[in-house]
């Protein structure tokens, strides 16, 4: 089944225009639960209740309000808010190009695949290849669902991706948080930590190695419960001991690289991916 676009737009830089479609690049697979009435097992229905009037309020009796002071609100009609939304436009006008290394990932919000719309194949390929060779990404503004977004367009997997981004005033200042500045680190500790990092390092990120083990455990338990099996609750894991001697902990960690047990298919895939590296290492020796 072909992917369906969630939006469309036109990338423009200089006099070049590229019609594109946006496709969702990732979706969360987190486990979610419904709330049930413990007495009868039926799903509950949430209601909006006004404690002042002591009554349930239906949707047509609601208005939006913004709290400007404690328990003080200004009201808005839907048409007033709609008038403030960004002008409906499909334009994704590139304002500048920058190196990707200068953009901190903390600004990334959500990712979309970009695909060329009809007639945009050649300029799409041109932009993707030119950005890839230049080592640059593009910054632009784009209105989606009435909200103006700062977006970043980057070459990826032989195509283009678009990331919606947080604005600068939406990112909390890290200086508000302690970074352990009072702790004193000596050179020997730093060298041991670097050795441990090297021992735990791989040449590239392989996402297939990692699985949501919590989700897997929940789904297995769901299946067991659905089949009416007797469930035995496992004892909680013992907490890790507090690190008292950092040097001793670093030395003990060296040579004890932990390899998590994986499913056969994943383990085989990881092993296959690692063969060229092992061959390269043995050649060097």
Q: Are 156 and 100 in contact (CB under 8 A)?
A: no
Does residue 134 sit within a domain? yes
Write the CATH number for 141. Answer: 2.40.290.10
Give the whole-angstrom CA distance, residue 270 versus residue 79: 55
DSSP string over 79-121:
HHHHHHSPPP--EEEEEEEEEGGGS-GGGEEEEEEEEE-TT-H
Which residues form the domain of 108? Answer: 7-25+87-170
Task: Answer whether residue 76 is part of any domain.
Answer: no
Residues of the chain predicted below pLDDT 50: 259-285
Number of domains present in the structure of the chain: 1
Residue 82, pLDDT score: 81
Angle between helices 246-253 and 187-199 (to 10 degrees): 30
Whether 41 is in a domain gets the answer no
Partners of 143 in beta bridges:
148
CA distance 195 to 205: 19
What pLDDT is recorded for position 51? 92
Closest C-alpha to 86, from 148, 140, 142: 148
Q: Any long-range contacts for 12-19 (C-beta under 8 Å, 24+ apart)? A: 12/91, 12/92, 12/93, 12/94, 13/93, 13/94, 13/127, 13/138, 16/123, 16/126, 16/127, 17/123, 18/116, 18/120, 18/123, 18/124, 18/127, 19/116, 19/117, 19/118, 19/119, 19/120
pLDDT of the residue at 210: 86
Q: What is residue 241's predicted lDDT score, i.e. its pLDDT? A: 63
Has residue 53 been placed in a domain?
Answer: no
Q: Residue 236's pLDDT is what? A: 72
The pLDDT value recorded for residue 244 is: 64
């Amino acid at each position: 089944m072909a992917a369906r676009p969630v939006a469309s737009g036109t990338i423009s830089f200089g006099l070049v225009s590229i019609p594109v479609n946006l496709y969702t690049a990732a979706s969360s697979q987190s486990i979610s639960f419904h709330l049930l009435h413990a007495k009868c097992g039926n799903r509950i229905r949430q209601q909006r209740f006004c404690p002042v009037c002591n009554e349930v309020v239906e949707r047509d009796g609601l208005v939006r309000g913004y709290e400007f002071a404690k328990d003080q609100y200004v009201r808005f009609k839907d048409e007033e808010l709609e008038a403030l939304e960004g002008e409906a436009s499909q334009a994704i006008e590139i304002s500048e190009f920058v190196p990707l290394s200068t953009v901190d990932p903390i600004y990334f919000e959500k990712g979309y695949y970009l695909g060329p719309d009809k007639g945009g194949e050649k300029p799409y390929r041109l932009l993707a290849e030119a950005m890839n060779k230049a080592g640059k990404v593009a910054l632009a503004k784009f209105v989606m669902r009435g909200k103006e977004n700062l977006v970043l367009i980057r070459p990826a997997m032989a195509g283009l991706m678009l990331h919606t981004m947080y604005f600068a005033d939406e990112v909390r200042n890290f200086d508000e948080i302690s970074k352990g500045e009072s702790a004193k680190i000596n050179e020997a500790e730093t060298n041991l930590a670097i050795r441990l990092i090297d021992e735990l390092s791989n040449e590239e990120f392989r996402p297939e190695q990692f699985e949501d083990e919590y989700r897997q455990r929940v789904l297995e338990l769901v299946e067991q419960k659905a089949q009416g099996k007797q469930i035995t609750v496992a004892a909680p894991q013992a907490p890790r001991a507090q690190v008292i001697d950092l040097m001793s902990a670093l030395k003990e960690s060296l040579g004890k690289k932990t390899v998590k047990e994986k499913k056969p298919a994943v383990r085989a895939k990881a092993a296959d991916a690692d063969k060229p590296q092992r061959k390269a290492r043995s050649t060097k020796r």
